Amino acid sequence: MQLFPVTKKIFHVLFLCCLFTGVTGSVKAQWYDVTRYGAVGDSTTDNTKAIQKAIDACAATGGKVYFPAGRFLTATLYLKSNVTLHVAAGATILGHTDTKQYPYQDAGIRFYGDEWARQSLIFCKDQENVGVEGSGTIDGQGGAFVITTNKKPDRYRDRPYLLWFINCKNVKVRDISLRNSAFWMQHYLGCEFVWIEGVCIWNHSNKNNDMMDIDGCRNVHISGVTGDSDDDGITIKSTSSHISENITISNCVISSHCNALKFGTESTGGFRNIAVSNCVIKPSAQLSTIYGKPAGNSGISLEMVDGGIMENITISNIVIEGPQVPLFVRLGNRARPHIKDAPVPAPGRARNIHLSNITATGADETGCSISGIAKAPLENISLEHIYIETKGDGAKVNLYEPVVEKETEYPEATMFGNLPSYGFFIRYAKDVRLSDITLRNAGKETRPGVVVAQTQQFTLNGLDVQTGSSTPAAVYINNSKEGIISNSRNAYPVQRVWIKDQQSINIKADEAAK
């Protein structure tokens, strides 16, 4: 009488075992070991064809292409939909050192640079659900690519990116170590849904060694990155009509000889809805430089010079140690078309930019600038809870001499030379608010901490500015109007908080600021 129930139970067990075996078998089938396709990890064998066979086979089912311990030399690899490259601990993908092994690619998106930046070690275009992961390393051996001319654009030619993703969706680059690209380390162009997490980057082998470039992408999340680069660090670009938007950057440690966190310089489409938080910017471990300085040119540079928009930007909880200029915000009018037949862009628009909870030490005597141009002022800018400490030796600058505008020039944090203020120089802006700003220097400064010029509707609240015995005032107002100064003081020895010129009108101050 018990035979049927027992038989039924056995049947269920056997069925589940078969099902489990089938599932695990299919999981194993989704891993494609490159050595099974003929790849040899001896540093010298050209594995391009073997690895591509593994990628093609994986693309048929979806899964991961597995690199075991070893050093696998390869030229351009074409990553395909539903494929992730998994580089195990002890494994290195080595980029071929012969530039002829990297075919020219057609990006399919017209962008500034598409005539010369056309090669990559790992190339992925018009694909989805793709990625690179693992505890191993991808090394581009970028120092082997010799630049024979400094003439633009020829000096950019025939140097591959390490990673190049174009018009891809659902891209994940995780936990991998990326080293020594011949050009930019990573270029993400026109992609959507991108995750870059836990990546370790070292890029000091050639010119134009950016850490990463997010270019006209949407819905991007960058977190836990530790990177050190000769050229710009985490860089948001817009080299085409695509806007870079809906981007978060958090919990990163960044070092750059140039600009650690940078928007620009290309801004054709623009930048919108970007939040940066909880990051540390520190001097590079590489003391010799190709560009810039070991401690960096700037910590944060927001640059709009080729039209487009920059709006809804928040940057908070940042520690900056070392760069010459901690903060630089620039709206200029270089007006460079992104392709030859594109119209000359009109001046861009920058608004709703908010910087808060920033501590910066080790800056030099240049000073930070927040500057637009007369026909396109910055709008709705706030700086709150910021501490800046400079090691400047008291630059000799005429406070009353106008700063050259350089409207059409390439933007750089040091472009104006030593500014008339050692803290913040604010020019051509509307609706600007500074609150709880502390400025300290090495004790030899004669300049004010803050200069406000050609600006309207501004509020300076809670400024704490160190002055010197020869400083005329902590704050100087030049040709500006509709300003309020409140709850501010200067820290020894000069007692005068602010002065203004005759062109400045409707400036109000409470008793604490007089």
pLDDT tens-digit series, residues 245-269: 999 999 999 999 999 999 999 999 9
What would the pLDDT profile of 433-467 be if each residue is shown by its tens digit? 999 999 999 888 999 999 999 999 999 999 999 99
Question: Can you give the pLDDT at residue 16?
Answer: 36
Per DSSP, the chain holds a count of helices (H) and strands (E) of 2, 37
What would the pLDDT profile of 309-320 be if each residue is shown by its tens digit? 999 999 999 999
Higher pLDDT, 211 or 18: 211
Give alpha helix (H) positions in 272-378.
none
Question: Can you give the pLDDT at residue 5?
Answer: 40
Cβ contact 429:372 at 8 Å: yes
Cβ contact 211:234 at 8 Å: yes
Question: Can you give the pLDDT at residue 489?
Answer: 79
Domain boundaries, the chain: 39-513
DSSP code for 60:
H
What would the pLDDT profile of 57-98 be if each residue is shown by its tens digit? 999 999 999 999 999 999 999 999 999 999 999 999 999 999
What would the pLDDT profile of 365-415 be if each residue is shown by its tens digit? 999 999 999 999 999 999 999 999 998 777 789 999 999 999 999 999 999
Question: Can you give the pLDDT at residue 492?
Answer: 67
Question: Can you give the pLDDT at residue 154?
Answer: 87
Residue 40: phi and psi, rounded to 5, are: -125, 125
Cβ contact 76:119 at 8 Å: yes
Question: 3-state DSSP call for residue 456?
Answer: strand
Give CA–CA dist 203/211, Å, rounded: 7
Question: Can you give the pLDDT at residue 511?
Answer: 64
Question: Can you give the pLDDT at residue 494?
Answer: 77
For residue 28, with 0-12 CB atoms within 10 Å meaning exposed, 13-18 middle and 19 or more buried, which class applies?
exposed
Question: 3-state DSSP call for residue 19?
Answer: helix
Which distant-in-sequence residues (6+ apart) come within 8 Å of 25 by Cβ?
none
Cβ contact 67:87 at 8 Å: yes
Q: At 23, which helix (H) or strand (E)?
A: helix 3-29
Split at pLDDT 50, 70, 90, the class of 153 is: confident
Question: Can you give the pLDDT at residue 20?
Answer: 34
Give CA–CA dist 124/128, Å, rounded: 9
3.40.50.620, 3.30.980.10, 2.40.50.140, 2.160.20.10: CATH of 39-513: 2.160.20.10
Q: What is the pTM of this model?
A: 0.93
**Is 70 exceeded by the pLDDT of residue 29?**
no
What would the pLDDT profile of 170-205 be if each residue is shown by its tens digit? 999 999 999 999 999 999 999 999 999 999 999 999
Which distant-in-sequence residues (6+ apart) come within 8 Å of 45 by Cβ?
39, 73
Which distant-in-sequence residues (6+ apart) come within 8 Å of 150 by Cβ?
none
> Facing residues of 73 across strands?
46, 94
What would the pLDDT profile of 97-148 be if each residue is shown by its tens digit? 999 999 999 999 999 999 999 999 999 999 999 999 999 999 999 999 999 8
Residue 466, both tokens: 């160190």
Give CA–CA dist 442/324, Å, rounded: 14
Split at pLDDT 50, 70, 90, the class of 514 is: low
